């Protein structure tokens, strides 16, 4: 039995100690359109019996999963903020690291290395770091799926879209953080750079 399901027991009205009952009506038309007819039918049996809390099955279902849906949305908001912070952090760290290696890029270019080869080297180093981090993160996420299972609604803990899109976003941030500073560094004249550093 699913852990989220509550066991149900049918008890005949004659054996029920409760003073109210629930009537379920199945209709082929719009559900709320039969309420007046039901009131007339009940009043014909006993005019002192009130009908209250009239709701559709969709409304009952919505109320039963409202807390789980709220938890799922809250978790989604926090996860989105965490992803944004991760993208900003990765971009900042990788970009700073590449900028720090500007002198090395200039030396490579002065010794005859091609711009394309330098860019491939710098971007490759950044992507290797990102792939290691993504692999560790995915492994941790898979290990935590049992904990997340009770907090999610309408999505599986091992959702394929999530496990594909997040690594792609982080890899994209790393690619940009590596490429943009490296491309900028390759456009600076190595001789002018070395003169500036010596002065």
Q: Both 86 and 100 in a single domain? A: yes
Q: Both 32 and 79 in a single domain? A: no
Q: Both 97 and 183 in a single domain? A: yes
The upper half-sphere exposure of residue 119, i.e. CA atoms within 13 Å in the direction of its Cβ, equals 12
- At 119-170, the pLDDT tens digits run 888 888 888 888 898 899 888 888 887 777 776 666 777 788 888 888 898 8
Q: Both 177 and 135 in a single domain? A: yes
Q: Both 55 and 72 in a single domain? A: no
Q: 192 pLDDT exceeds 60?
A: no
Asked if 82 and 166 count as a contact pair (C-beta separation under 8 A), the reply is no
Is there a domain that residue 6 lies in? no
Q: Which two tokens stand for residue 21?
A: 């009952």
How confident is the model over 62-73, as a mean pLDDT? 80
Q: Both 94 and 170 in a single domain? A: yes
Distant-in-sequence, close-in-space partners of 98: CB < 8 Å, separation ≥ 6: 122, 126, 177, 178, 181, 182, 185
Q: What is the pLDDT at residue 141?
A: 84
Count of domains forming the chain: 2
Is there a domain that residue 7 lies in? no
> CB 21: neighbour CB atoms within 10 A?
8
Q: Both 77 and 30 in a single domain? A: no
Q: Both 45 and 85 in a single domain? A: no
How confident is the model over 81-94, as a mean pLDDT? 86
Is there a domain that residue 3 lies in? no
How confident is the model over 43-63, as a mean pLDDT? 82
Q: Both 72 and 127 in a single domain? A: yes
Q: Both 134 and 100 in a single domain? A: yes
With the CA atoms of 37, 38, 42 and 47 taken in that order, what torsion angle do they form, in degrees rounded to the nearest 10? -60
Tell me the backbone φ, ψ of residue 14, rounded to 5 degrees: -65, -25
Of residues 65 and 7, the one with the higher pLDDT is 7
> What pTM, to 2 d.p., does this model score?
0.59
Instruction: Give the range of the structural domain holding residue 166, as residue numbers without chain letter.
Output: 67-198
Asked if 70 and 95 count as a contact pair (C-beta separation under 8 A), the reply is no
How far apart are alpha carbons 174 and 54 in whole angstroms? Answer: 55
Mean pLDDT computed over every residue of the chain: 79
Q: Both 115 and 129 in a single domain? A: yes
Q: 189 pLDDT exceeds 80?
A: no
Q: 26 pLDDT exceeds 80?
A: yes
Asked if 153 and 65 count as a contact pair (C-beta separation under 8 A), the reply is yes
**Which pairs with CB-CB distance under 8 Å and at least 24 residues apart come from 32-41?**
32/56
Give the end of a domain, one of 63, 93, 121: 63
């Amino acid at each position: 039995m699913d852990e989220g399901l509550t066991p149900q027991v049918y008890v005949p009205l004659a054996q029920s100690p409760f003073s109210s009952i629930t009537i379920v009506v199945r209709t082929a038309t719009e559900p709320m359109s039969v309420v007046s007819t039901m009131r007339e039918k009940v009043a014909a049996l006993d005019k002192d019996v009130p009908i209250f809390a009239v709701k559709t099955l969709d409304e009952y279902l919505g109320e039963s999963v409202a807390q789980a849906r709220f938890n799922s949305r809250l978790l989604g908001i926090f996860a989105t903020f965490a992803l944004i912070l991760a993208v900003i952090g990765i971009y900042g760290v990788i970009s700073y690291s590449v900028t720090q290696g500007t002198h090395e890029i200039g030396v490579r270019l002065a010794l005859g290395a091609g711009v394309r080869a330098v860019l491939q080297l710098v971007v490759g180093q950044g992507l290797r770091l990102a792939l290691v981090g993504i692999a560790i993160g995915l492994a941790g996420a898979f290990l935590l799926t049992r904990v997340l299972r009770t907090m999610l609604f309408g999505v599986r803990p091992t959702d394929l879209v999530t496990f594909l899109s997040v690594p792609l976003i982080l890899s994209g941030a790393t690619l940009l953080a590596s490429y943009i500073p490296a491309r900028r560094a390759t456009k600076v004249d190595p001789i002018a750079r070395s003169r500036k550093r010596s002065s």
